[in-house]
Amino acid sequence: MPVPVSQMWTVSTYVLRQKLAGRKQYPLVLMLEPLFRCNLACAGCGKIQYPAHILKKDLTPEECFRAVDECGAPMVSIPGGEPLMHPQIGEIVEGLVARKKYIYLCTNALLLKEKIHLFKPSKYLTFSVHLDGQREEHDLAVCREGGYDIAVDAVREALKRGFRVTTNTTLFDGANPKSVRAFFDEMMELGVEGMMLSPGYSYDKAPDQKHFLGRARTRRMFRAILSNRKKEWKFNLSPLFLEFLMGKKTYPCTPWGMPTYNVFGWQKPCYLLQDGYAESFSELLATTEWSKYGTESGNPACANCMVHSGYEASAVHATFNSLGGFLATVKGTLFSRYRDEEALRLLEEPVAAVNPLVQIAAPQQDSLQETRA
């Protein structure tokens, strides 16, 4: 099992309680961004292009705890920026563990070995290490030579000390499905608990605008990658979300399922878009015009989106909405290898060369290459 039984039990009983209470909109994972600073400048990132006075800001531990308590979600993901650059990250994590929240601390791991003494192994804490593929692919994606080796070394150290470790991987146009599958083998051999995957989102602030995927290309790429699965591969994601990426399921977006709190407040409507902020979680739920978002809304900002933060909560809701959804989840978790002859053929197709390694200093406004489909 890629997720401990206690975590599955906590999440399942939480969702069932929301359903019994008749709640239609409830959060599953709080995306807590305690800062935007980062020690990398990845070409596909839309989070770090803020002016210096914003990049200097940190949420205080008390602000983090207030947001977590107010939101009530059983899981907290801590992205950023790079959370290990927050001066009180140890205190924040300790406070969340005390609240029995399942925490995914998302890190590029450049500072993990140096800061690991700040943390204690716990079933509530997982280091979710950003690795975008094998050595060459990862270093290209994060615009940093040697980044893969540092991250893998830190993963080994964290595992040796008894921490839970997963990987999180964002895939862009030009990703080589064969290489991604080889990367899965490497990560399983390394001993991580599970792997998380998402297509990149076309942030309009991201420096590299040429390599975002349209929906049809996303489905084709994930079909090639995730069909004919090896039984050793473990994913720390809903199997129905993976089927959504492969084009086997369609779901509407559930932007309130993974709400975002950061130095500006509660971000409307989701982790990716910034259509204003609310002062409280209840205000976020009450004042966001949810019908304006999601692929079906016709909103161009949502047209190509299939990202984890919008659609994994949809897949989890599908699990609990019907017996069929529950059985599909069990089958996807335990039994399905997703045999697919056509996907084997897709693996043999030539892949366009990826972008050259560049250290991004400032956003460039290149023209957007059309990838919508």
Q: Write out the residues near ligand SF4 by the rule CB under 6 A.
A: 253, 255, 269-270, 272-273, 293-295, 301-302, 305, 307, 309-310
What is the C-alpha radius of gyration for the chain, rounded to an integer number of angstroms?
19
- CB closest to ligand SF4, residue no: 310
Give whichever of 176 and 304 is closer to ligand SF4, judged by the CB atom: 304
Q: How far is the CB of 217 from ligand SF4 (least distance, A)?
A: 16
Q: How far is the CB of 302 from ligand SF4 (least distance, A)?
A: 3
Q: How far is the CB of 310 from ligand SF4 (least distance, A)?
A: 2
- Which helix (H) or strand (E) segment holds residue 196: the answer is strand 194-199
Give whichever of 18 and 304 is closer to ligand SF4, judged by the CB atom: 304
What number of helices (H) and strands (E) belong to the chain? 14, 9
Distance, CA of 153 to CA of 144 (rounded, Å): 15
Give whichever of 138 and 308 is closer to ligand SF4, judged by the CB atom: 308
Q: How far is the CB of 336 from ligand SF4 (least distance, A)?
A: 26
Sequence-separated (6 or more) residues with CB below 8 Å from residue 351: 174, 175, 176, 177
Give the count of beta carbons closer than 10 Å to the beta carbon of residue 371: 19
DSSP 8-state secondary structure symbol assigned to residue 366? P
Give whichever of 165 and 171 is closer to ligand SF4, judged by the CB atom: 171
Strands 265-269 and 102-107: unpaired
Task: Look up tokens 């978790």; give the residue.
Answer: 333
Distance, CA of 183 to CA of 155 (rounded, Å): 14
Q: How far is the CB of 311 from ligand SF4 (least distance, A)?
A: 7
Give whichever of 57 and 292 is closer to ligand SF4, judged by the CB atom: 292
Tell me which amino acid residue 28 is.
L
